[in-house]
Amino acid sequence: MNPFIPRKYLDHFWTVAGAVNIRIKIIGIVLGLVFLLGLAVTWQVRQLLSQAMYAQLSEQAVAFTRDLAARAADPILINDVYALHQLLQDTRINHPNVVYAFVVDPDNYVLAHTFNGGFPENLSDANSATDDAYEHTTILNTSEEQIWDTAVPVFEGRAGTARLGLSDAQVLQTIDAVTGQLLLTTVMVSVIGISAAVFLTWILTRPLLDLVDAAQAVGNGNFSYRVTRWADDEIGKLTDAFNSMIEALGKADAERIEREQSRVQYVHGVITAQEDERKRIARELHDSTSQSLTSLIIGLKTLEDNCQHCRKQTRVVELRSIAGQTLDDVHTLSVQLRPSVLDDLGLPEAIRRHIADYRKRYPINIDLAVTGMDGIRLPTEIETALYRIVQEGLTNIIRHAEAHTASIFIECSTDKVLVVIEDDGKGFEITNVQHQDGHLGLYGIQERAELLAGALEIESEPGRGTSLFIEIPLHTESAELQENR
């Protein structure tokens, strides 16, 4: 990485460049290369053409002046000023690039010139050629052009000096014209390059866009989508590999659905069997054990009435009290085994009544909050599992936590149910949570959650209380849940 460029600027550049459409990238690369190549060629050609034409202009200035000096020798020697003036005019007419021409004598006095408005001041001193020099050229700058002023001695300077000024206007026009043609060619090539780039990017990106559509379809669960193979190149091989991957994903998804259906049937069967067994035991307790205890209480009452003067009457009263308490416990146990309110009124009301019963029996403050379940009935196995999880959680709090307050939060959404059970009890080390170490309740909660493809998360510290987070997914029951909504 360049140490002079901060990394944040490079990251920003890559973020911006990465967000540009791939077609724009390819078109930009082609256009940039064509444009840079065109500019480079134009600049190089302009430089080479300028060098060649200015070299030719310098040679022309010398050649024209030498010719003028040679032809001006006779008029100077015979002192024919008119012929000399006519020679200068003809030289300017025959060579359009000639700006001026004049001849001076050895004393630098102007013998003839081509200026209509008078000879310019100091021009005769701007350039000169020594007697032993063949010629001498000086470049004169004006506001509009540059003039190659060349001086050539006549008869080695004894007859004077011929001066001629050659303009570079035509050279500049030629260079500008060639430059314009090159730039026009660059534009035309850029247009052709853009057209070719658009066509090539369409060919290259169309299969990629098909792959994107296929990926989105697969992401939405459509494993029947197949990508059309465009060519036998690398993208074609990628297409075949992608289609094979979709086919494999389709088979895996079908197997997953089959396993999920089997799991749902298994869970339904297990929970149904458990609840049926609980119902059977509850009926046995209610129909058999409760009646037997009732008969025992009646018998003890009769015995108490018939033995008013017996010494064991106090013992009979105690036994009848114990039998009554046992009957109440049996009734409570039968209700806990399978509360009818869970089937009749649903999960929230069943939990509320269960909490109300705990408040009567134990000195603990329990708060309940339920959201997202107004008028909603979850599948039976989920309602039953959640009720048992809450029941087991409260039992653990009463038996082990030594807590003063507890709270239960239930939130139902379209894809999951979240249950949070918290207390302010003594807490424990999570690393010691093993069902062999007296935490059968937590193990049972975890087992019920995993049976429904859910998860249990425990947060606890000694002296800081305990929080249980139980999450049950509703993917397989979403259709039924939406119908209930």
Write the CATH number for 89: 3.30.450.20
> CB pairs under 8 A, 24+ apart, for 12-20?
none
pLDDT for the residue 259? 81
Helix, strand and coil content of the chain, in percent to the nearest 5, comes to: 60, 15, 25
Task: Tell me: pLDDT of 409 over 90.
Answer: yes
Stretch 96-103: mean pLDDT: 91
One domain for residues 230 and 116: no
Sign of CA dihedral 109, 115, 120, 126: negative
- Six-digit token string for 277: 């067994």
Whole-angstrom distance, CA of residue 171 vs CA of residue 173: 5
- Measured at the CA of 136, the angle between CA 130 and CA 141, to 5 degrees, comes to 130
Tell me the per-residue pLDDT of 228-285, one tens digit each, with 9 for 90 and over: 777 777 777 888 888 888 888 888 888 888 887 777 677 667 667 766 666 666 666 6
Is residue 269 one of the residues assigned to a domain?
Answer: no
Based on the domain organization, do 408 and 462 belong to the same domain? yes
Rounded CA gap, 72 and 153, in Å?
11
For residue 7, being part of any structural domain is answered with no
More confidently predicted of 325 and 234: 234
Residue numbers of the domain that contains 153? 18-176
> How far is it, in rounded angstroms, from Cα 349 to Cα 342?
7
Q: How confident is the model at residue 205 (pLDDT cuts 50, 70, 90)?
A: confident
What is the reported pTM? 0.46
Compute the Cα dihedral for 430, 436, 438, 440 and give only its sign.
Answer: positive
Amino acid at 298: I
Out of 244, 259, 274, a domain closes at: 259
Confidence band (pLDDT; 50, 70, 90) for 329? low
Using DSSP's 3-state secondary structure scheme, residue 414 falls into coil
- Asked whether residue 328 is domain-assigned, the answer is no
Q: Is 428 helix (H, G, I), strand (E, B) or coil?
A: coil
pLDDT band at 406 (very low <50, low <70, confident <90, very high): very high
Per-residue pLDDT, 471: 93
Rounded Cα–Cα distance for residues 164 and 276 (Å):
125
Given a contact cutoff of 8 angstroms between Cβ atoms, the answer to whether 354 and 390 are in contact is yes
Count up the domains in the chain and report the number: 3
Are 384 and 460 members of one domain? yes
Same domain for 226 and 169: no
pLDDT value of residue 1: 47
Report the percent of the chain where pLDDT is more than 90: 15
Average pLDDT over residues 29-38: 81
What local confidence, expressed as pLDDT, does residue 166 receive? 92
Do 167 and 226 belong together in one domain?
no
Average per-residue pLDDT for the chain: 80
Same domain? 171 vs 226: no
What band does 436 get if pLDDT is binned at 50, 70 and 90?
very low
Same domain (yes/no): 235, 366: no
Whether residue 477 is predicted with pLDDT greater than 50 in this model: the reply is no
List beta partners, residue 353. none
- As a whole number, mean pLDDT of residues 160-170 equals 90
pLDDT for the residue numbered 255:
85
The H or E element containing residue 97 is: none
Residue 344 tokens read as 């009749």
Question: CATH number of the domain that 350 lies in?
Answer: 3.30.565.10
pLDDT at 435: 44
Average pLDDT over residues 28-44: 83
Residue 484 has a pLDDT of: 47
The structure tokens listed for 122 are 């100091």
pLDDT (tens digit per residue) in 111-127: 999 998 888 888 888 88
- How crowded is residue 295: how many other Cβ atoms within 10 Å of its Cβ? 11
Pair 110, 125: CB distance under 8 Å: no
Same domain, 137 and 55: yes
pLDDT at 286: 58
- pLDDT at residue number 122: 84
User: Is 308 contained in some domain?
Assistant: no
- Taking the CB of residue 220, how many other CB atoms lie within 10 A of it? 9
Helix, coil or strand: residue 234: helix
Q: Of all residues in the chain, what percent carry a pLDDT higher than 70?
A: 76
Contacts of 372 (CB under 8 A, 6+ apart): 411, 412, 413
The pLDDT of 370-379, averaged and rounded, is 85
241 and 94, same structural domain?
A: no
Give domain status of residue 314, yes or no: no
HSE, CB side, 13 Å, CA atoms: give it for residue 485.
12
Are 141 and 152 in contact, with CB atoms under 8 Å apart? no
Q: State the pLDDT at residue 301.
A: 66
Band (309; pLDDT cuts 50, 70, 90): low
The reply to whether 232 falls in a domain is yes
| Stretch among 115-129, 148-162, 302-316 having the lowest mean pLDDT | 302-316
pLDDT classification of 369: cutoffs 50, 70, 90: very high
Residues 147 and 241 in one domain: no
pLDDT of residue 353: 86
State the Cα–Cα distance between residues 301 and 320, nearest whole angstrom. Answer: 7
Does residue 140 sit in the same domain as residue 246?
no
pLDDT surpasses 60 at 482 = no
- pLDDT greater at residue 159 or residue 270: 159
Regarding whether 35 and 171 lie in a shared domain, the answer is yes
Domain boundary, last residue among 142, 176, 210: 176
